[in-house]
Amino acid sequence: MTESTKTTDDARAAILEGRTSLGIELGSTRIKACLIGEDAGEVLAVGGHEWENEFVDRRWTYSVDAVWSGLQAAYADLVADVRRRYDVEPRTFGAIGVSAMMHGYLAFDADDELLVRFRTWRNTSTGPAAAELSERFGLNIPLRWSIAHLYQAILDEEPHARGIRFFTTLAGYVHWRLTGRKVLGVGDASGMFPIDSSTNDYDTRLLEACDGLIADRAPGLHVAELLPEVLPAGRHAGELTAEGAALLDPTGALRPGAPLCPPEGDAGTGMVATNSVAPRTGNVSAGTSIFAMVVLERPLERAHHELDLVTTPAGDPVAMVHCNNGASELAAWAGVFGQFAAVAGASVDNDAVFEVLFRAALDGEADAGGLLAYNHLAGEPIAGLAEGRPMVVRTPDSRLTLANFMRAQLYGVYGTLALGMRVLAGEGVGLDRMFAHGGIFRTAGVAQRFLAGALDAPVAVGETASEGGAWGIAVLASYLSSADDLDLGAYLNDRVFAKAAVDTVDPDPADVAGFAAYLDRYRAGLTAEAAAVDAL
């Protein structure tokens, strides 16, 4: 028997015996499923489903039907991958984890009926509520946080506000439907309402302050009674019910009974996927949105509107720089170049288009030749934009070449993020390492190199980067069986990443200087972006 045959036989046995962990993450453009073995770093199979948000009544949303049809499609795709690789089908799992895009707002009445359409993290209509809460709490409450959505609904006297009896995030909703339990991992919960890291629960002082704010407008409504229960990583968070199994796998093949870990947001799973849960570590996740997470050694000296205070899945304090706009505009331009290739008679697949364009960017000038690219499809609070208007701007003396254009587009993905990271650096926050994950890092040495220049810090990319959060939540599910013996950081270091291949790129001084010049122009040009929002 060859080693590959033995490995395949071992994987087949693990699948049949339910000694695997399933992770599912509902991202902004793709729902991913990832199956890992008892060796928690080993990916056995993957599945996926493409989906897109809708802009309905001036709000970004996904329909509940799209949630479940997408989950079923991603799971079916994973089962098909298992069948192709191992000629078996899974009937159960050792553990399951659910993750989704962070924050947002799903509100339910006393009969557990959804009151309004799901409001995603991307909405920026909560400005008055976020500002008032931030002032009352003495810390930054971002527009996308669930409590900002709730309070804005109360301020706007929306009819549904008085009937709310429970609200949660997308991950919390899916987990609830699969298990019957209204719980949330502490990392995702920290984007619903501020967490007290000494208790790993909602801050009771701020809960009282919040009730004081809403007392006159919504008598009898107590926020603590509306929130899901908070659980740290490693805690048992319920079991897959018969109804939940049928929701995930309408064929009936999946059996109930598998334990689930606490549901988490994509920020938390990104920290796990990059082994960035210890102080002085951080990570950048780049997708439809882009955000950086830095685990803190000490509290920040003051509140900053550019920084959110959240937690790791274990409850440790984290400073987060979250930008609503990531790589979507870059992908749109890659699509245009792909269409050009097709019209010109060349057959080039999407991955090859990105590879060619990214490689071209390496030949661009360090400051992108005077070009600017704004990736704002949606509003961007850090940049002071209520809405988005993607733009490419240049002066008459700039050098418009393909190489400079693509470098500007890649720099543009990091522009708003860099504004927030400059604020964090001003607080004296130290970093030993910064990990990156997301699809744009699949082309080796390009987006990673430019990010190192933008942050002026070493940037590492691991071999699991393209699997991202679905792999991260699968690892958190696997951690259930080891949580009594190891804390999360030790589990990741000793069991998951001990043999992981990691490629680290140090910042190139020319890139650091070039991006700094680009960012100065970028900051100044935000006035033009704001004017475009007003005019168009």
Backbone angles phi, psi at 102, to 5 degrees: -70, 160
Among candidate residues 270, 246, 242, the one with its CA nearest the CA of residue 100: 270
Pairing between β-strand 459-462 and β-strand 433-437 as defined by DSSP bridges: parallel
**What is the number of alpha carbons within 13 Å of residue 244 lying toward its C-beta?**
22
44 close to 82: Cβ distance less than 8 angstroms: yes
Backbone angles phi, psi at 370, to 5 degrees: 90, 0
401 close to 361: Cβ distance less than 8 angstroms: no
Pairing between β-strand 30-36 and β-strand 43-50 as defined by DSSP bridges: antiparallel
pTM: 0.83
In whole angstroms, how far apart are CA 525 and each of 154, 229, 357, 371, 375? Answer: 36, 44, 25, 11, 13
pLDDT at position 124 is 84
**Rounded CA gap, 186 and 201, in Å?**
7
Among candidate residues 203, 187, 271, the one with its CA nearest the CA of residue 235: 187
DSSP string, 237-289: --B--HHHHHHH-TTS-SPS--BBPPPEEHHHHHHHHTT--STTEEEEEESSS
At 331, list the tokens: 């992908």
297 by Cβ neighbours in 10 Å (0-12 / 13-18 / 19+) ranks as exposed
Backbone angles phi, psi at 291, to 5 degrees: -150, 155
Q: What SS3 string covers 65-134?
A: HHHHHHHHHHHHHHHHHHHHHHCCCCCCCCEEEEEECCCCEEEECCCCCECCCCECCCCCCCHHHHHHHH
pLDDT at position 463 is 67
Longest CA–CA span in the chain (Å) reads 74
> Helix, strand or coil for residue 231?
strand
Angle, helices 468-478/266-273, rounded to nearest 10 degrees: 80
477 by Cβ neighbours in 10 Å (0-12 / 13-18 / 19+) ranks as buried
Pairing between β-strand 54-56 and β-strand 95-100 as defined by DSSP bridges: unpaired
pLDDT at position 525 is 97
CB atoms within 10 A of CB 501: 9
pLDDT at position 499 is 83
Which amino acid is present at 318? Answer: V
| Domains in the chain, CATH or no CATH each | 99-241 (3.30.420.40), 265-463+501-536 (3.30.420.40)
- Per-residue model confidence as pLDDT tens for the chain (536 residues): 334 555 899 999 999 999 999 999 999 889 999 999 987 678 999 999 999 999 998 899 999 999 999 999 999 999 999 999 999 999 999 999 999 998 899 999 999 999 999 999 888 899 999 999 999 999 999 999 999 999 999 999 999 999 999 999 999 999 999 999 999 999 999 999 999 988 999 999 999 999 999 998 999 899 999 999 999 999 999 999 999 999 999 999 999 999 999 999 998 998 998 899 998 889 998 888 898 999 998 888 888 989 999 999 999 999 999 898 999 999 999 999 999 999 999 989 999 999 999 999 999 999 999 999 999 999 998 999 989 999 999 999 999 999 999 999 999 999 999 999 999 999 999 888 899 988 899 888 999 999 999 999 999 987 654 567 899 999 999 999 999 999 999 999 999 988 888 899 999 999 999 999 999 999 999 999 999 999 99
**Is the C-alpha dihedral spanning 373, 451, 369, 342 positive or negative?**
negative
Which amino acid is present at 116? Answer: V
| Cβ-proximal residues to 349 (8 Å cutoff; 6+ apart), any chain | none
Backbone angles phi, psi at 23, to 5 degrees: -115, 135
| Cβ-proximal residues to 230 (8 Å cutoff; 6+ apart), any chain | 183, 184, 185, 186, 189, 195, 200, 201, 202
